[in-house]
Each structure stands twice: as C-alpha cells, then as structure tokens.
C-alpha cells in the first residue's frame, strides 16, 4: 500500500511558512521570503516527514497493544470459575 505525499490545507501551509520565516528572523537574524520558506517546508515534509510518520505509527501501535492487553485482562476477569460438584 503506497502512501501519497502529504498535502496540507492552504491555511496550514501558510501558517507553517510563517513559522519558518519567524524562526529564521528570531534565531538567525535573517529574513527569508515565502518561496524560500515554502521550499524549506517542502524539504522537511519530504525528508523528515517519513521519520515523524513512522514514529507516530510506532506510538499508535504501542498504544493499541497496551489497550489490547488491558482488554484481554478484562475478558479473562469475566471468565466464570466452575464450582466443584459433590
């Protein structure tokens, strides 16, 4: 199953571009334009995005496993213990 590239809604993309520009201004004392910030965003999405995505899947898998273990314990707790026949 192939995963399609991440497409962000325009509003989110614009906000992220603004955050990248703000970072460069505050941390590096540089101003970069929309095109440069958009290029950086695209780079991060393509190059770093898969690592973040895979970590999110790993975290989700761990949470599901924990929940399933808890559910299994709950199901075992429902088992009836047969009484002794005299």
Tens of pLDDT, residue by residue over 46-85, are 999 999 999 999 999 999 999 999 998 888 888 888 887 7
Cβ atoms of 32 and 21 closer than 8 Å: yes
Task: Map residue 3 onto helix, strand or coil.
Answer: coil
Q: What's the confidence (pLDDT) of residue 51?
A: 94
What percentage of residues in the chain have a pLDDT greater than 70? Answer: 93
Cβ atoms of 13 and 19 closer than 8 Å: no
Q: What's the confidence (pLDDT) of residue 84?
A: 77
- Residue 23 reports pLDDT greater than 90: yes
Round to whole Å and give the CA distance between 56 and 32: 30
């Amino acid at each position: 199953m192939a995963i399609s590239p991440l497409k962000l809604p325009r509003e989110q993309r614009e906000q992220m571009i603004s955050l990248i520009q703000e970072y460069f201004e505050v941390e590096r004392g540089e101003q970069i334009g929309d095109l440069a910030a958009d290029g950086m965003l695209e780079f991060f999405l393509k190059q770093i995005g898969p690592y973040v995505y895979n970590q999110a899947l790993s975290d989700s898998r761990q949470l599901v496993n924990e929940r399933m273990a808890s559910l299994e314990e709950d199901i075992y707790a429902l088992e009836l213990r047969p009484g002794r026949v005299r």
